[in-house]
């Protein structure tokens, strides 16, 4: 049986194994090598300082340079050069990028691109400003403190939801990938400054259709987080990740290592045969329901664990009295590692300053043609037959009612509803104008208009009763036609709308007309006469 083991942070009083020392030596060596490569251009990406170093690859800061001044900070994972020539490690590296690209979930660090240049491979991932769960456990342990249970519940609930998304991932044809992470540990859980936990590093994940498959009897992962069936070489399912997430939950609640020893044999014996105490023994007031959730996830029988990671996340949320919100997790994170995160943020700002892109105005000048090369604008036709561009300023400001009406009618013809509305509005306007004209001509006639009968005094036309009485009592000989008034002497009526409205009496103010007895018609021979001005006038009594 071949072991491919990775050790995480050593606990208090634990002996550092040879594997950890080798890893630290490798990290120091690659750290100097990375410094020399900072600023290297990889197509549209630029390689910068180191974020983390592992046994298989190094993670760098990177900058994406797009067109029109677009840029973005990313994380670039680089396979170590001596592994880049090994087909087995290259296949694992490509599998990680391909599988992660099929997972779309806020609790999984997404893969954005893969770059192959000069015999090396680079995987471009989203840069997440945060800290790993292992560093947070160590930071709180150095101060003799533990992570608050509400924060632990929020972090592990997000981790389980991300794992569930990976377990349910499908390929391009919609077929399940049957993906299993196989390396869930506090080092691979990243808590962002936004308070959201994310799963990363699917480098040794097991899935259908991998370019490189695990050989029989070969173990991959961290021994202290491997499920018993995984250690025994049995088939690995999603229950393996649920078990590893339960170990992370136990350690985050208690601030202690669950399985530890002086060598791999001691750890292996504890995982397979050792007793697992409930976390409530180390965390007073945690609650029995939380212990039940943790111990069920740590069951050595896969059938007794939760069926899915999502089911465990829901059970954990229900068991906890309170689950911290992302803003609360973010505030706690800044209180624990705020100084380290600020230093990393200053590094990112410095990288962005060194690789600043041209301004928006400069980018627009690059993509837009110069003004002299732009085609002239087409003139806008006007109602006079010319164009607006050739008209004088005074002519442009002139309002052409006929042109406006034609334009409105042509626009209304494009839409039946608009045309009907326009016609209704026009009819309503005509009706209102006609009504106003009738009111003005009927109720506000000048009192100085001369009577049409000879010798009859000036009277309003509406006073029919008075006119009938006058004509009935006055003899025909006494009726004299008055002299026609001159234009200068006739007063011009000054009418406004307010006066017209005020002049209209209400229904209660109009007097009831008494019955009028028509006067006997007189002789109307002839029915007209010629006044002194030589104007032909008709006699009123003849009609």
Q: Which residue shows structure tokens 């002996």? A: 15
| 199 sits in which H/E element | strand 197-199
Neighbouring residues of 497: CB distance < 8 A, sequence distance ≥ 6: 436
pLDDT of residue 93: 79
Instruction: Indicate the helix (H) or strand (E) that contains 221.
Output: strand 218-221
- Which range has the worst mean pLDDT, 13-17, 119-123, 340-344, 400-404? 13-17
Residue with the larger pLDDT of the pair 89 and 328:
328
Task: Give catalytic residues, as residue numbers.
Answer: 183
Asked if 251 and 134 touch (Cβ cutoff 8 Å), the reply is no
> Which 3 state secondary structure label does DSSP give 113?
strand
Report the interhelical angle of 309-319 vs 149-167 (nearest 10°).
160
Q: Which strands make up the sheet holding 45-53, listed edge to edge?
A: 41-42, 45-53, 57-65, 71-79, 120-126, 111-117
- Lowest average pLDDT, out of 111-115, 246-250, 358-362, goes to 358-362
What percentage of the chain has pLDDT greater than the value 90? 31
pLDDT tops 70 at residue 510? no
Contacts of 270 (CB under 8 A, 6+ apart): 259, 260, 261
Domains of the chain by start residue, with CATH: 19-127 (3.30.200.20), 129-355 (1.10.510.10), 403-430 (no CATH), 449-472+516-543 (no CATH)
* Confidence band, pLDDT 50/70/90 cuts, at residue 390: very low
Six token digits for residue 216? 């029989």
Say if residues 162 and 198 touch (Cβ distance below 8 Å).
yes
Q: Which of 45-49, 87-91, 295-299, 500-504 has the highest mean pLDDT?
A: 295-299
Q: List, in order, residues 6 or more apart from 283 with CB less than 8 Å away.
A: 146, 149, 253, 254
DSSP classification of residue 235: -
The alpha helices in 444-483, defined as continuous H runs, are 464-473
Higher pLDDT, 367 or 286: 286
pLDDT in tens, 62-86: 998 877 778 889 999 988 887 878 8
Average pLDDT over every residue of 250-268: 91
Question: How much is the average pLDDT of 273-285?
Answer: 92
From residue 450, alpha-carbon distances to 55, 291, 461, 491, 505 in Å are 118, 113, 11, 12, 25
pLDDT at 359: 62
Indicate the average pLDDT of the chain: 75
Query: Residue 389 — very low, low, confident or very high, per pLDDT cuts 50/70/90?
Result: very low
Closest CA relative to residue 124, chosen from 136, 132, 116: 116
Band the pLDDT of 177: cuts 50, 70, 90: confident
**Residue 524, pLDDT score:** 59
pTM, two decimal places: 0.61
CA distances from 380 to 391, 490, 542 (A): 10, 52, 66
Query: Which is more confident, 84 or 431?
Result: 431
């Amino acid at each position: 049986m071949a072991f491919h083991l990775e050790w995480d942070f050593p606990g208090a009083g634990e002996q550092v194994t040879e594997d950890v020392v080798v890893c630290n030596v490798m990290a120091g060596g690659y750290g100097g090598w990375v410094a020399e490569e900072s600023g290297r251009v990889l197509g549209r990406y630029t390689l910068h300082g180191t974020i983390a170093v592992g046994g298989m690859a190094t993670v760098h800061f990177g900058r994406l340079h797009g067109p029109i001044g677009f840029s973005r900070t990313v994380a670039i994972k680089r396979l170590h050069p001596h592994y880049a020539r090994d087909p087995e490690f290259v296949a694992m590296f490509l599998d990680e990028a391909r599988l992660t690209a099929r997972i779309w979930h806020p609790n999984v660090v997404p893969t954005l691109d893969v770059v192959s240049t000069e015999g090396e491979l680079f995987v471009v991932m989203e840069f997440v400003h945060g800290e790993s769960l292992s560093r947070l456990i160590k930071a709180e342990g150095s101060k003799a403190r533990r992570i608050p249970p509400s924060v632990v519940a929020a972090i592990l609930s997000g981790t389980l939801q991300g794992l569930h998304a990976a377990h349910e991932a499908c390929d391009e044809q919609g077929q399940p990938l049957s993906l299993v992470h196989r390396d869930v540990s506090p080092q691979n859980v990243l808590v962002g400054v936004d308070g959201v936990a994310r799963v990363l590093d699917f480098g040794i994940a097991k899935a259908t259709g991998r370019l490189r498959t695990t050989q029989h009897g070969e173990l991959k992962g961290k021994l202290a987080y491997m499920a018993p069936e995984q250690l025994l070489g049995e088939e690995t399912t999603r229950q393996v990740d649920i078990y590893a997430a339960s170990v992370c939950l136990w350690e985050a609640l208690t601030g202690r290592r669950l399985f530890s020893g002086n060598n791999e044999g001691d750890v292996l014996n504890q995982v397979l045969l050792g007793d697992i105490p409930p976390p409530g023994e180390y965390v007073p007031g945690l609650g029995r329901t939380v212990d039940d959730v943790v111990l069920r996830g740590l069951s050595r029988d896969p059938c007794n664990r939760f069926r899915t990671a999502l089911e465990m996340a829901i059970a954990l949320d229900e068991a906890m009295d309170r689950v911290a919100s992302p803003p609360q997790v973010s505030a706690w994170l800044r209180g624990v590692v705020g100084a380290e995160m600020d230093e990393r943020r200053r590094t990112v700002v410095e990288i962005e300053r060194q690789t600043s892109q041209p301004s928006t105005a400069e980018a627009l000048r690059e993509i837009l043609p110069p003004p002299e090369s732009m085609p002239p604008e087409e003139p806008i036709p006007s109602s006079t037959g010319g164009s607006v561009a050739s008209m004088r300023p005074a002519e442009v400001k002139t309002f052409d009612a006929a042109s406006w009406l034609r334009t409105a009618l042509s626009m209304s013809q494009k839409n039946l509803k608009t045309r009907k509305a326009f016609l209704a509005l026009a009819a309503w306007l005509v009706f209102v104008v006609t009504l106003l004209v009738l009111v003005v001509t009927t109720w506000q006639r000048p009192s100085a208009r001369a009577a049409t009968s000879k010798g009859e005094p000036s009277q309003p036309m509406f006073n029919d009763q008075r006119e009938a009485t006058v004509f009935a009592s006055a003899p025909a000989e006494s009726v004299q036609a008055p002299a026609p008034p001159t234009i200068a002497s006739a007063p011009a009526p000054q009418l406004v709308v307010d006066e017209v409205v005020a002049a209209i009496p209400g229904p209660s103010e109009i007097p009831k007309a008494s019955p009028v007895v028509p006067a006997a018609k007189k002789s109307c021979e002839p029915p007209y006469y010629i006044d002194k001005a030589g104007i032909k006038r008709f006699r009123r009594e003849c009609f």
